[in-house]
Structure 1
Amino acid sequence: MESDVAAESRVLSGRYRVDEPIGHGGMASVFRGYDLTLGRPVAIKILDAELSRDSAFRTRFRLEAQAASRMSSPAIVRVYDAGEDTEVDDRGTARAVPYIIMELVHGRLLKDVIAEGPVPIPDAVRYVDGILEALEYSHRAGVVHRDIKPGNVMITDAGQVKVMDFGIARAVSDSSSTVAETTTILGTAAYFSPEQAKGDVVDARTDLYSTGVVLYELLTGRQPFRGDTPVAVAYQHVSEAPVPPSEIVDTVPRALDAVVLQALAKDPFQRFPDAAAFRETLDATVDGKEPSRREVDTLSNTLYGPDPRQAAETARALRQLSTDPTMKRTQAGPPAAWIWGGVAILAVLLISVLVWVFTLRPLNIVPSGSRIVPTVAGMTYENAEQALNKEDLVAKRVDKPSETVDDGTVISTDPDEGISVQKDSQVTVYVSTGPELTTVPKLEGLSLPDAEQALDDAGLTLGQVRSEDDPATEKDVVLSASADEKSKVSKDTAIDLVVATGTVTVINFDQEGYTLEDAQNALTELKLTVTVQDDPSCAASDPRTVKTQNPIGEVPIHSEVTLVSCSGAAETDDTGDDGQ
């Protein structure tokens, strides 16, 4: 149906022209398109008709797409817009057509790259590094992808990795009631995390698990778990340990074995804490030391147990209950297969816990010759010393300045609290002396650069700088500071300065009604040179006033100001008494 729409050059919402199809997935078709308003090429993803019938899904889809549109990273395919159009089918029934408008990327899907044959290890590391770059950004933005797989990763013609479909997976998975339904929409379960397979709450570590699966496939050419049905694969994610990649392809460095095994840990808390840590560890394998086979085996045992295949029989029995690939919810209660599946999973978990309990060393028992350093931070030194003496430990006081801990209060210890040490060991107790103080240097009279250097030398910082006229001080010379010279202040305190402008303000004495004498006195107080010029063309007044002046306004200190004053004789009356 969508291809017919493209052939007719359909326009969505009066703005987006739909052109030829460029891809099709389990939940949508992607078309090349054109934004008629902004005049740019775009990719248009039109959701499958089955999904669009669910109004709750359409609402979730729109909200998730809006969240994804706020992310802007070179490693993420941009989402420009999301909307909903309508179309009428052959029977005259109108249906909603949800769509999203995305950045048009020229390149290939990572799944096509994998399908072409073995991927060189440097390229595999680079591709996964790009995926982790995208996840590092999205997780900081609070967006979990939920469907990381090669089909959702583009490699541009320039080799740039771009991850797409952020936010869509959540809308889809929230609308699906079973693993079988979800995998029908999202594709294979090969990249599911154990928590997704069990229907548990997921977080950012789910994306890291799926990225580990992608890395495994890039290194070996196959996924770590395969089966006849999505449910069978999902059970393997929950119950079985992956074979290290180097056992499948002997050219894979064992350093990458360690990275993959940690990424694929069943327990989210045993995986990398975030995408940045995963990325840093992965990049370190390029030049890092390669672990031994024994070290890899030890890591595998730590993550998956000393006998990772102990539940194989149970898992096989479990998979036999789920051979129907069309498993969907057709009744009010859960299907019988899921009930038995849940019972079997609980049995596997119970066996695993029992094995763990019986093989666990009693690490919480402290040998008689050892002591645990108690928590003394926040105490006075005297109380801390008593607490350490009760544990047969010797306290050694070391004073240390602190901006956050009050004077006389314990900051920390070395060894740290909770650490096991030998009886009678010495424990260094760091006690706060309060903020570290320093002396304010001489600042007044220094140039601004010299004052800033003096502050830096004293462990202080430059605060606000305010300019002020001063008739006797050159430009940018310090007039005053917010702290007195030789006073004691905390290190890193910001000191505000007042510096000279190097100018003074000369008012218009004529308009202000100044006499010549008053104007001369005012200019002298500003330490300016005054020159008076007589103008005989106009009659002098008594007292004499200023006719004009030059300059007016801001003038450099010690500069010259010229005042012009009338000096001509006063006019007389020609009709005197001479003719009498």
Structure 2
Amino acid sequence: MDESIGRGGMASVYRGYDLTLGRDVAIKILNPELARDAGFRTRFRLEAQAASRMSHPTIVRVFDAGEETESLPDGTTQPVPYIVMELVTGRLLKDVIEEGPVDAERAVAYADGILEALEYSHRAGVVHRDIKPGNVMVTADDHIKVMDFGIARAVSDSSSTVAETTAILGTAAYFSPEQAKGEPVDARADLYSTGVVLYELLTGRAPFRGESPVAVAYQHVSETPLTPSEINEEIPRALDAVVLRALAKDPYQRYQDAASFRAALTHALTGKAPSRRQLGTLTSELYGPNPRQAAETARSLRQLSTDTTMRRTQSGPPVAWVWAGVAILAVLLISVLFWVLTIPRGGENVPSNSRIVPDVTGMTYERAAEELTANDLVPVRVEESSVTVAEGNVIRTDPGTDVSVEVNQQIKVYVSTGQELVAVPALTGLTQETAAQALEQVGLKVGTVTSRNDPALDAGIVIAADPAGGDEVAVGSSVDLVVATGRVLINDVTGYTVEAATRELEAPDTQLTVETQEDTSCPAATPPVVIAQSLAPGEVPVRSTITLTYCAG
């Protein structure tokens, strides 16, 4: 381990060298205060292991995670958790932003790089939770590398307040509203944070600033941001619309996945810019009426009502017209009052051989039957399911309330049988299309569809359903599906021994077929080490065959 190359609220980072594989690495060592918490260390290790399974050009690779023991001067020992990562040369996006706003094309390119990493990680089931310029590297060739995937979750799960979390992660400026409120988060929280980073790239400042983390968190939850073009006039208005959508308070009003966000950015640079009215409509849709506009309107009204120095631009109406209008209104009011007082009441002027159907909705059937019988009507019970009326209570009558009918006429009384339930069919193992048809046949519909890698299933096969098969739900309910991608994730195993690489690639979560191939042009090693693999790291089709090449000269 060599010199220190970085330090943060959670850990210190050192340059290191991997003696086994002969490569430079970065070693992140957890700060002692956090290392003392056994629960945090466990979450830290599990999240690091999850992150280590991701291999993508826009993500800083995690090679290893472990724990050493350090002896203290008083003779006691303490654990020292660490993570071994890919060493990236370049500079932090935070340093780029400190130099001032960047042009729109470059800002979009940086944001697209972050979203490309998130698109991959979200598909692998990993939510970052701490997207910010300090966790994004810009390489020497101006490409993006996102780091610290999954590690922020260990911090969030160990902190009970915004202040505690920001003391470790460093800032609340990039928190999503749901993070600020301590609510559960999903991939859309990462998209919100990316929107904040894009805002800062375009304007040189964060959308919300305050004297404390709590003050900033409050603004994330309740305040409407200025559009970026109000701060930097050179920004295309089309990007205003994209940023406002990304910063929506309600996760359901944001982009629902990274791919949609990326597509919107591409369109913003090539498509037609929205008008100011369209932007105002979008702002009202996402954040409610503009509070600044409301304040200006109120101030103008107060000025008009109190400033005696201001002249009218139009003369008032003639006094005679005013009194004529008052007289007409008075006559209309008296006429309406007279009509209300003289209209017949229910039951008045009804012939002796007729009856008015009473209102029995919401009553039990027994009570409704008594009420109808007392009015010389004949109740006829008709049962019907209802999601709003309790079982046994009256939904409506036919003829309806206040209708005049003959004596002894039959009145259909529709009584609720409660909510109609249906069993969710068995969907596991079906194709997504077949599962949708099975749900439709029983009056259900497909809800959210989540993709997940499964080494044993082809693309489009249902892995699980929620609610599960056999559960009873209301007719018309949605059933969420988890569907296989038909692909599995493999790591770069070059540098591994052939035995270790084969064990990893044939593991239950990959289940590839491994073949080996000798290369006699290079000297043999003991044990043999993989120098090449036929399939590139990343996602590959299930049940693929991969060839590992090793030196045998």
Report the TM-score when normalising by structure 2.
Answer: 0.53
Residue of structure 2 in register with 1:105 after alignment: 88
The structure whose Rg is larger is 1
Residue of structure 2 in register with 1:256 after alignment: 239
| 2-structure distance, mates of 1:177, 1:68 | 24
Residue of structure 1 in register with 2:534 after alignment: none
Shift of 1:118: 2.4
Residue of structure 2 in register with 1:130 after alignment: 113
Contact 1:241 1:309 in 2 (8 A): no
Contact 1:79 1:101 in 2 (8 A): yes
| 2-structure distance, mates of 1:141, 1:79 | 15
Q: Does 1:48 align with 2:20?
A: no
Contact 1:172 1:185 in 2 (8 A): yes
Residue of structure 2 in register with 1:35 after alignment: 18
Out of 178, 182, 201, the residue aligned to residue 165 of structure 2 is 182
Q: Which amino acid aligns with 2:119?
A: E
1:31-180 matched pairs, under 5 angstroms = 31-180=14-163
| 2-structure distance, mates of 1:126, 1:276 | 14
| Closer/same/farther in 2, CA of residues 94 and 128 from structure 1, 3 Å limit | same
Out of 262, 268, 271, the residue aligned to residue 279 of structure 1 is 262
Q: Does 1:294 align with 2:271?
A: no
| 2-structure distance, mates of 1:171, 1:301 | 36
Contact 2:65 2:82 in 1 (8 A): yes
Q: Identify unmatched segments of 5+ residues in structure 1.
A: 1-17, 313-403, 406-410, 412-580
Shift of 1:109: 0.3
| 1-structure distance, mates of 2:126, 2:58 | 14
Q: Which amino acid aligns with 2:237?
A: R
Q: Does 1:222 align with 2:208?
A: no
Query: Is the partner of 2:127 in helix, strand or coil?
Result: coil
Residue of structure 2 in register with 1:305 after alignment: 288
| 2-structure distance, mates of 1:43, 1:283 | 34
Query: Is the partner of 2:9 in helix, strand or coil?
Result: coil
1:185-200 matched pairs, under 5 angstroms = 185-200=168-183
1:162-561 matched pairs, under 5 angstroms = 162-308=145-291
| 1-structure distance, mates of 2:102, 2:68 | 41
| 2-structure distance, mates of 1:56, 1:310 | 49
1:3-42 matched pairs, under 5 angstroms = 18-42=1-25
| 1-structure distance, mates of 2:293, 2:230 | 20
| 2-structure distance, mates of 1:310, 1:84 | 56
Shift of 1:309: 5.8
Q: Which amino acid aligns with 1:172?
A: V
Contact 1:240 1:309 in 2 (8 A): no
Q: Which amino acid aligns with 1:188?
A: T
| 1-structure distance, mates of 2:249, 2:12 | 34
Contact 2:283 2:290 in 1 (8 A): no
Task: Name which structure has the greater RCO, CA cutoff 8 Å, separation 6+.
Answer: 2
| 2-structure distance, mates of 1:91, 1:280 | 58
Q: Which amino acid aligns with 1:276?
A: A
Contact 1:85 1:97 in 2 (8 A): yes
Contact 1:301 1:308 in 2 (8 A): no
Query: Is the partner of 1:286 in helix, strand or coil?
Result: helix
Q: Which amino acid aligns with 1:193?
A: S
Shift of 1:287: 1.1
CA deviation string 1:99-148 (max 9, x = no partner): 00000000000000111222122111100000000000000000000000
| 2-structure distance, mates of 1:311, 1:226 | 22
Q: Which amino acid aligns with 1:228?
A: E
| 2-structure distance, mates of 1:66, 1:205 | 23
| 2-structure distance, mates of 1:221, 1:92 | 50
Q: CA RMSD for the aligned pairs?
A: 2.1
Q: Which amino acid aligns with 1:84?
A: E
| 2-structure distance, mates of 1:231, 1:274 | 28
Q: Which amino acid aligns with 2:83?
A: I
Shift of 1:284: 1.3
